[in-house]
Amino acid sequence: MASKEPILVDVAREVGPTLAFTTDGPPGSAGHTVITPQKNTDPELALNTGFHEISHTMDGRLRESIDREAAHQRVKPPEHLWHAVTLYTTCEITKKVLARDHRPTASLDTDRTKMFERNGWNNLLVALERDWQPYLDRKASFESALATLMRETSK
């Protein structure tokens, strides 16, 4: 799902009520992410936030995959499944990168759990741990993990 176009990333003093945001970038770019270091004082969380925001440049492709699988199963996916998948995935990848350097990762799990609770996605977190993690661990294909996740979380 990776994009071949560059992703513009800017550091700003203030970005409003969030830690960062991503928008469509100018022609020839995959997107434009703006992050504020003042609000990201935990370096591990800052890395995860930046990575998560940059991953929003792939939202369209992820949503298409979810919509295709939902149509195949004739179900309606949870409204914010795409965002929950993105949050979960970027956190897991960030944890793996940090673990290679023996850096702490506990704050990432705590932050992710709070974010899922705040959004009312507790059931999605459980499903992602059970059904999506095998894909991230290279024990299941993207298609298989998505099909299982869809079956377990959809109405």
- Report the predicted TM-score, pTM, of the whole model to 2 decimal places: 0.80
Query: Are 135 and 145 spatial neighbours (Cβ–Cβ below 8 Å)?
Result: yes
Written as one string, the DSSP assignment of 8-47 is EEEE-S--SSSSEEEE--STTSSEEEEE-TTT--SHHHHH
pLDDT by residue, tens only, the chain of 155 residues: 455 777 666 676 666 767 777 777 778 766 676 676 665 567 788 778 877 887 777 778 899 999 999 999 999 999 999 999 999 999 999 999 999 999 988 889 998 999 999 999 999 999 999 999 999 999 999 999 999 999 999 97
